[in-house]
Amino acid sequence: MKVAVVEGDGIGPEVIPPACRLLEVIRPDIEFFPVEVGYGRWVRSGEAVTDEDISLLASADAILFGAVTTPPDPGYKSVIVRIRKELDLYANIRPVWGEGFDIIVVRENTEGLYSGIEKIEADSACTLRCLTRKGSERIARHACKLAGSRRNLTIGHKANVLKSDVFFRDICIGVAREHLVSFRECYIDSLCLDVLMHPERYDIIVTTNMFGDILSDVTAYLVGGLGLLPSGNIGDGHALFEPVHGSAPDIAGSDTANPIAAMRSAAMLLAFTGDEESSGLIEQAVKNTLACGIRTRDLGGTCGTKDFSKKVCNELIALLKCV
């Protein structure tokens, strides 16, 4: 299996190498190749991401991605948004689980407010929120597949205000009925509060691009912060796995970033490619480390990124000796 690795900017180069190390330990057959995109690349060469980079990413069986900072040039669109669009990674899967709850946010990843149709003028600015039947149907189908017959689907929207969400909600309801998935609908603002107060009420939540982005950061509160949450960006031909967090420039270079989100993204990558067992072992290694009371600063501990990463890796090696 060939895995493209994008460390990116900010804390990306601190959290991705330890995640790769876990993959190397558990799956020595994986062939890694680096792809440099992002702000650092732009400073060095004037280009944050090129067509060749996209082709290189497309040639991998899966991509492990850190985080990129978009260059501060008004002509530049978000690098990760471009990659998601060009590889047609339409389903952003963001699981969050803990004591008594197990939620997956399924975020439409290629259209909505991130369609890129916008302009800014001296006295006005406009961003168009475009949703298509194709885009809405396929994300609803993906969510229904995850829900299956056992899990409930919640459709998050703002159809009381936005016509585009009437369109999205009605399509999701149609697809859920077709798939015999039990569903309910919820206004996204009250959903953001209710998911924090009663996380056990939720299973699979499907929503549009920006609402899903916000909702998954909100749900990070349930588990102690952004440093813990992985995600998958899935299309019909490609898949990219990345932490939910961004490049966190405020803590970059300080050895305080929590690498768990990146490690769990590597575990999601393995599960996606069919290796559930190795994926589960990475999760177990993370759990065992936390169970010893070892934590990075965002979780109230004192352990640095490098030491924490070494501890998880040693746990994984110990687990492998037992299987």
Residues that bind ligand ATP (CB under 6 A): 11, 15, 67, 69, 226-227, 245-251, 257-258, 261, 298
For residue 135, the number of C-alpha atoms closer than 13 Å in the C-beta half-sphere is 24
Nearer to ligand ATP, 158 or 264 (CB): 264
Distance CA 243, CA 6 (A): 12
CB atoms near residue 238 (< 10 Å): 21
CB of 161 to ligand ATP, least distance (A): 27
Nearer to ligand ATP, 131 or 240 (CB): 240
Cβ atoms of 229 and 181 closer than 8 Å: no
CB of 321 to ligand ATP, least distance (A): 29
Nearer to ligand ATP, 19 or 188 (CB): 19
Nearer to ligand ATP, 63 or 262 (CB): 262
For residue 76, the number of C-alpha atoms closer than 13 Å in the C-beta half-sphere is 17
Which residue's beta carbon is nearest to the bound ligand ATP?
246
CB of 242 to ligand ATP, least distance (A): 11
CB of 222 to ligand ATP, least distance (A): 15
CB of 273 to ligand ATP, least distance (A): 24
Candidates 105, 277, 69, 312; CA nearest to 202 is 105
Candidates 215, 239, 212, 217; CA nearest to 227 is 217
Question: Who contacts 14 (Cβ-Cβ below 8 Å, separation ≥6)?
Answer: 252, 253, 255, 257, 259, 305
Nearer to ligand ATP, 87 or 248 (CB): 248
Cβ atoms of 91 and 31 closer than 8 Å: no
Nearer to ligand ATP, 136 or 256 (CB): 256
Distance CA 178, CA 278 (A): 35
CB of 30 to ligand ATP, least distance (A): 23
